[in-house]
Amino acid sequence: MAAENLTAGEYIKHHLGHWTVGEGFWAIHVDTMLFSLLLGGLFLFLFIRAASKVTVGVPGGLQNFTEILVEFVDKQVKDSFHGRSALIAPLALTLFVWIFLMNIVKLLPYDLFPYLAHAIGVEYLRINPTSDINATFGMSLAVFFLIIFYSIKIKGAVGFSKELLLQPFGKWFIPFNFILKVVEEIAKPVSLSLRLFGNMYAGGLIFTLIALLPWWIQWSLGLPWSLFKLLIITLQAFIFMVLTIVYLSMAHEDH
Amino acid sequence: MNINLTLLGQMITFGLLVWVTMKYVWPPIIKAMQERQKKIADGLAAAERGKHEQELAEERAKKLLQEAKQQANDIIVLAQKRANEIVDASKDTAHQEGERIKASARAEVEQELNRAREHLRQQVGDIAVRGAERILKKEVDAKAHAKVIDDLITQI
């Protein structure tokens, strides 16, 4: 417990607040941006280091690690994506590693970073970017735009419009088809982002509740939950990646 | 959990990350992996080839060895045959020589015998004539009775 004088409700609320600059829609969650950039930077640092020193001969530890990840992602892409694209596999790798990193900071000691932030005068701090809907929705919207972009690129504007208007029930149900299709397309980014956000947000909430227990018993719930969370974290990153690949491959398929 | 400008910031961040990954991370790693795959495959193929070649060489060596053995055997057999022939030939020669020596010895003996017989005949003839001369002293004329004596000699 960071502040003994807070009530439970205030404590939870404190943990759900963001380090915000600005007002209303023009506000920016500095903590989300900061940590997502930091972790993105870490991802790029590691992988560019590995990529610049890459060798055909016996690989070193870092190269081995990155190659396992690259091969894993490559296999997923090859399994579900049948077109040829220079973008999809790197996109999937970025998504997987970045989301994994953004998720895993959740397992760091829960009160440590807000406490440190408090020391430098920042009142609210959430270090887990994926429990901010802006972060998850940002990624899924980017994926959504890619879906639209590829749909139009592959099928042409006319083909894509035809698909929106004429499927699944033929030309006598055009308005109905259109509504159905639009809902289907919009459901993709919404479900992508909400799934990740919901998992991370709820997980964080449980950590907050565990932190409200007396200090000597916290480990008994904290440890199992952290281990379980480790599973969820990997799984959510994997699901986000695989669904992105699947959606993009659907965008590439001509009916 | 209100939507705000962070959303846009996240999208931009995401886009940049993907771009950098696509440009600088993915291609070298995947290229190296493919090259290594090829290298390993080549190595395995070479090993396989080497093994095959070794098998062939072994087979060839075995064949050569067998041929050499066969040749040695042939040579031994031939040599034996030749030796036998030589032994046979010398045996023959020796036999013939023996025969020849025997024949010439026999001829000599025959000759000697004949000569002895002739000699004996002559002596017997002489003795007979002398005996007859002594017995018949006067009335026997050696010349007149020579024919009788010769008949006698031939009968001996």
Separation in Å, CA of B58 to nearest CA in chain A? 33
Question: A2-25 pLDDT, tens per residue?
Answer: 445 567 777 777 777 777 777 777
Phi, psi of A68 (to 5 degrees): -60, -45
Structure tokens at B122: 């002559």
Chain A CB within 8 Å of residue B37 CB: no
Please compute Rg for chain B using Cα positions.
61
Contacts of B35 (CB under 8 A, 6+ apart): A56
Query: String of b and e for A170-209 (b: at least 16 CB within 10 Å)?
Result: eeeeeeebeeebeeebeebbeebbbbbbebbbebbeebbe
Separation in Å, CA of A36 to nearest CA in chain B? 8
Chain A CB within 8 Å of residue B25 CB: yes
Calculate the CA dihedral of residues A188, A189, A191, A197 and round it to 10 degrees. Answer: 160
Q: Please indicate whether, in this complex, the C-beta atoms of A138 and B22 are within 8 angstroms of each other.
A: no
Residue A20, SS3 per DSSP: strand
Is the pLDDT assigned to residue B65 strictly greater than 90?
Answer: yes
My answer on whether omega of the bond before A168 falls inside 30° of 0, hence cis, is yes
Question: A114-139 pLDDT, tens per residue?
Answer: 778 778 877 777 888 888 888 899 99
Q: Please indicate whether, in this complex, the C-beta atoms of A33 and B6 are within 8 angstroms of each other.
A: yes
Q: What is the pLDDT of residue A145?
A: 92
Do residues A43 and B17 lie in contact, with contact meaning Cβ atoms separated by under 8 Å? yes
Spell out the domain ranges in chain A. 3-52+61-252
Measuring CA to CA, how many Å separate A212 from each of A7, A107, A199, A215? 10, 16, 20, 8
How crowded is residue A230: how many other Cβ atoms within 10 Å of its Cβ? 14
Nearest residue of B to residue A193, measured between CA atoms: B7
- Which residues of A are catalytically annotated? 191, 195, 199
Is the pLDDT assigned to residue A208 strictly greater than 80?
Answer: yes
Chain A CB within 8 Å of residue B33 CB: yes
Q: What is the pLDDT of residue A176?
A: 86
